[in-house]
Structure 1
Amino acid sequence: MLTIWGRENSNNVKKALWCAAELGLNFTHINAGGAYGKVNEEPFRSLNPNGLVPLLQDGDFVLWESNTIVRYLAAKFGQSPFYQQDLQARAAAEKWMDWQTATITGSFRHIFWGMVRTAPEQRDMALIETAIGEMEQHLNIVEQTLAKQPYLSGEEFGIGDIPLGSFIYAWFEMPIKRQPRPHLERWYQRLCARPAYQKAIMIPLT
């Protein structure tokens, strides 16, 4: 039995929920974190001492860290091209997973918290504008890649698209000015056409 812990409005939890939906998995979802609490209580802390979501339980096996959960689900339940069997093709897709965490998360957090979770009169617009500028620079790299291939994972949709894809919905939904990027926008529209993306990602920003 699979169980995914984490509030559905968390961008990192969305990765796990989207991946599970893409794979057509049967699982139990337990809202935790934020207004739902639970993460500072037992049994959650005994499962994840970090007190963070998402958390995956697969029988007696427990796993945390969102990108690792996506890799695990894809490796166990997925098939090519979603989870490439060729080592180099899989590594080329997976690099985008680590890139999202290391490069995108910091700037995105300032924008998201500022524009979505902070009252307008309390926003630090200088910080937000700086973060938007950083995001624009990062997304230039994505634009250049998507000019050569339809997905970050390559010619077909795969695990490399999930981390940034989980964040990019908010990027396009937040009331901010964005530079036009036709290749990024086409990629985003392809994601929006996927039923699993609609179910797990395209929910109100909170």
Structure 2
Amino acid sequence: MLQILGKTTSINVRKVLWTCAELGLAFEQEDWGSGFRSTDVAEFRALNPNAMVPVIRDGDFVLWESHSIIRYLANRYRGDGLYPADPVERARCDQWIDWQASELNRSWSYAFLALVRHSPEHQDPRQIAASCANWSKHMAIVEQQLARTGAYIAGEAFSLADIPIALSANRWLETPQQHDDLPAVAAYMTRLAERDGYRRYCRNGTP
């Protein structure tokens, strides 16, 4: 059976859990990470030298990096409806998956660590304000795209790209800060609420 190593409170682990829910995949989960089993041990580093979650074991195959994992699962377990085979549609999906990691994630990291994790190393008011402003700028890009599609982040149909984007949108909504009025994002989250994976692993009160 597929094994997922990582705690459910991790946004990156929840990407994998939600993908499994969409694909109807059974799995076993082991809690690793802060507050649970330490990833900074030889046993875990043998699986992921970065000592970060999530990691999956699918038989003898071991894989880390959340976006690589969700793509693998969709490819391995007949997820054409989630991750289109058509090169153009897949490219649109990949664009938003990669943007979430390279741009959106970076925009909120300082503010999230300060306002939610209460990290002592992330309490500079100017940097918090700058991170919040940058986060809002990136969420405005999400708003514009959703207003354009009128449905989901990569187009008219739910896709693999919606999983990381929605999790980041949820993190924005759950973080105590000023929130701009983003009606397309609000409608998007309401639309996603029909999905079991969303209810279990996204808009569940966990940022």
Normalising by the smaller structure, the TM-score range is over 0.9
* One-letter amino acid of the counterpart of residue 129, structure 2: E
Q: Does the 8 A contact of 1:21 with 1:200 survive in 2?
A: no
Does 2:100 correspond to 1:90? no
In structure 2, do the counterparts of structure 1 residues 142 and 161 end up closer, same or farther at CA, with 3 Å as the change threshold?
Answer: same
Distance 1:36 1:92 in 2: 37
Does 2:192 correspond to 1:196? no
User: 1:50-87: CA deviations, max 9, x gaps?
Assistant: 10101011100011001110101111124333121111
Does 2:23 correspond to 1:15? no
1:61 — aligned with what?
61
Q: How does 1:115-130 map to 2 (within 5 A)?
A: 115-118=115-118, 123-130=123-130
Distance 1:26 1:205 in 2: 22
In structure 2, do the counterparts of structure 1 residues 78 and 115 end up closer, same or farther at CA, with 3 Å as the change threshold?
Answer: farther
User: 1:118-168: CA deviations, max 9, x gaps?
Assistant: 179x84332222111111211222222111211112111010111121221
1:151 — aligned with what?
152
In structure 2, do the counterparts of structure 1 residues 60 and 119 end up closer, same or farther at CA, with 3 Å as the change threshold?
Answer: closer
In structure 2, do the counterparts of structure 1 residues 175 and 87 end up closer, same or farther at CA, with 3 Å as the change threshold?
Answer: same
* One-letter amino acid of the counterpart of residue 107, structure 2: S
* One-letter amino acid of the counterpart of residue 173, structure 1: E
Does 2:173 correspond to 1:163? no
User: 1:148-192: CA deviations, max 9, x gaps?
Assistant: 211112111010111121221121122211111111211122223
1:101 — aligned with what?
101
The CA RMSD measured in Å over matched residues stands at 1.8
User: 1:83-130: CA deviations, max 9, x gaps?
Assistant: 21111101111110110111011221112111111179x843322221
Distance 1:77 1:67 in 2: 15
Q: Does the 8 A contact of 2:74 with 2:83 survive in 1?
A: yes
What percent of counterpart residues are identical? 37
Q: Does the 8 A contact of 2:174 with 2:205 survive in 1?
A: no
- 5+ residue gaps, structure 1, are none
Q: Post-superposition shift, 1:37?
A: 2.6
* One-letter amino acid of the counterpart of residue 87, structure 2: L
2:137 — aligned with what?
137
1:187 — aligned with what?
188
- 5+ residue gaps, structure 2, are none
Distance 1:112 1:163 in 2: 16
SS at match of 2:12: helix
Q: Does the 8 A contact of 1:4 with 1:55 survive in 2?
A: yes
TM-score, with structure 2 as normaliser? 0.92
Distance 2:51 2:28 in 1: 19
Paired residues in the alignment total 205
